[in-house]
């Protein structure tokens, strides 16, 4: 598109704005909860649709972003009213250009008047805010509190993106967190994205907010987002933004029921698979302890050098004493070592482990066994779990056996 022929004044004056809606899904309820309104400009000279980014870029250049923002909100509310969404109990997610807050545009009552004039209910409207675009934190807090008092719901958009300030989440206490699509994209393949998502879900629970996973485009993204705690989903997998006369089409409904059934089967299968996997881990652990219990500690190194070759699921293995000091070398399967760096390398004999969670858990609780959460191993650089267990050698001296087992990101999602 030749941007030079876009006349932003003409677009605003003639209200050449088209409103599209994208559904927001609750898989647990097997229904559409609401719709996010998305504005597009119409270039009457070429009869082509103008993207919102281009539209607002031109508006800011002409210092007309406030006028454009208000027009988009007006058209979205009118379309919501025309389509009778409120009486169908659909929530409207209404975007706000929050950069205007830095210009002192807070509490003007413009949105309140539009909602009142259209006889709409405030508690059916969610105001979406991209907090990273606001430098004035006090204005942001004032704005959210003002509209909350009037019954509106608030959502922080693009949470977890590169410029979001997570300290503001606790400050403004939104009703909804919308997790940025950059985190959702291929979340099933990346452990760090899963951990970020889980952290944001945990934060949302503590402030009493719901979580929407944005930008869901693949079945796997939908399943993992649900597994990690998403309350709602939004994205092309269910529906692209559409003209409001088509937003409740049968394809979207079929996708909702399909993913609901798929998620049920997925979780059932995964729980069974993980149960079987851990049964194998503990069987290997038990077999190793039986072997070690028949020798003295002087023979541990020789035994471990054989054991690491015998059990293919074991990545690294070592033994510590009751004081937390490693008394053997760390024996590793060299084929599983991922990284060659000074940061990574197996712990040596004599290394202190008393601050490791598996050590103080076993020592402080009297438990005989402990399994860590998945973490990046400093021995290999791989994602692994450590299973530790107390045992006695042939002379009844007590030790702790530690085995590291490499895991895949797809096996780490269950809480």
Reading the chain (415 residues) residue by residue, the pLDDT tens digits are 444 467 888 889 899 999 999 999 999 999 999 999 999 998 877 888 888 888 888 888 888 888 998 999 999 999 999 888 888 889 999 998 776 665 656 566 888 999 999 999 999 999 998 866 667 777 778 888 888 999 999 999 988 876 666 777 877 889 999 999 999 999 999 988 999 999 999 999 999 999 999 999 999 999 999 999 999 999 999 999 988 655 567 888 899 999 999 999 999 998 999 899 999 999 999 999 999 999 999 999 999 999 999 998 999 999 999 999 999 999 998 776 666 667 788 899 999 998 888 888 898 888 899 999 888 888 888 889 999 999 999 999 999 999 999 887 666 665 4
Domain boundaries, the chain: 3-248, 270-411
Is the distance from CB of 20 to CB of 239 less than 8 angstroms? no
Angle at 66 between CA 65 and CA 70, to 5 degrees: 115
Class of domain 3-248: alpha beta
Q: Where are the alpha helices (DSSP H) in 99-136?
A: 110-117
Between the CA atoms of 335, 339, 342 and 343, what dihedral angle is there, to the nearest 10 degrees?
A: -110
Q: Which fold would CATH assign to domain 270-411?
A: Beta-Lactamase (3.30.450)
Q: How many CB atoms lie within 10 A of CB 414?
A: 11
Between the CA atoms of 369, 373, 378 and 383, what dihedral angle is there, to the nearest 10 degrees?
A: 120
Q: Over the range 215-224, which residues count as b (16 or more CB within 10 Å of their CB) and which as e?
A: bbebbbbbbb
Alpha carbon 290 to chain centroid, angstroms: 42
Q: How many CB atoms lie within 10 A of CB 183?
A: 23
Handedness of CA 71, 74, 77, 82 (dihedral sign): negative
Q: Tell me if 3-248 shares its fold with 270-411.
A: no
């Amino acid at each position: 598109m030749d941007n030079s022929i876009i006349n932003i004044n003409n677009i605003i004056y003639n209200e050449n704005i088209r409103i599209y809606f994208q559904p927001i899904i609750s898989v647990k309820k097997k229904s559409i909860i609401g719709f996010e309104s998305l504005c597009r400009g119409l270039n009457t000279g070429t009869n082509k649709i103008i993207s919102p980014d281009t539209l607002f870029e031109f508006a800011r250049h002409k210092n007309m972003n406030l006028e454009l923002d208000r027009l988009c909100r007006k058209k979205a509310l009118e379309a919501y009213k025309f389509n009778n969404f409120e009486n169908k109990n659909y929530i409207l997610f209404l975007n706000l250009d929050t950069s205007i807050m830095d210009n002192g545009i807070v509490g003007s009552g413009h949105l309140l008047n539009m909602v009142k004039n259209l006889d709409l209910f405030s508690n059916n409207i969610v105001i979406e805010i991209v907090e990273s675009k606001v430098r004035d934190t006090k204005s942001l807090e004032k704005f959210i509190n003002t509209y909350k008092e009037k019954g509106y719901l608030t959502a922080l958009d693009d949470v977890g993106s590169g410029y979001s300030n997570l300290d503001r989440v606790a400050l403004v206490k939104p009703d909804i967190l919308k997790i940025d699509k950059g985190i959702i994209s291929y979340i099933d393949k990346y452990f760090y994205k899963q951990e970020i998502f889980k952290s944001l879900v945990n934060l949302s629970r503590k402030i009493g907010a719901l979580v929407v996973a944005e930008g869901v485009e693949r079945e796997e993204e939908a399943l993992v987002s649900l597994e990690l705690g998403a309350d709602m989903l939004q994205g092309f997998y269910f529906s692209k933004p559409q003209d409001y006369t088509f937003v409740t089409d049968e394809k979207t409904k079929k996708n909702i029921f399909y993913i609901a059934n798929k998620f049920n089967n997925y979780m059932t299968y995964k729980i069974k698979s993980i149960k079987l996997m851990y049964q194998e881990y503990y069987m290997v652990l038990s077999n190793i302890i039986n072997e070690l219990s028949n020798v003295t500690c002087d023979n541990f190194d020789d035994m471990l050098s054989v054991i690491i070759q015998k059990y293919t699921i074991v990545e690294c293995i070592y033994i510590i004493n009751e004081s937390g000091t490693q008394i053997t070398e760390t024996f590793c399967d060299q084929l599983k070592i991922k990284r060659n760096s000074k940061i990574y390398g197996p712990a040596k004999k004599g290394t202190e482990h008393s601050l490791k969670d598996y050590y103080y858990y076993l020592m402080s609780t009297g438990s005989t066994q402990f399994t860590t959460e998945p973490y990046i191993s400093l021995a290999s650089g791989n994602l692994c779990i450590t299973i530790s267990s107390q045992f006695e050698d042939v002379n009844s001296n007590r030790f702790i056996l530690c085995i590291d087992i490499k895991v895949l990101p797809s096996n780490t999602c269950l809480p």
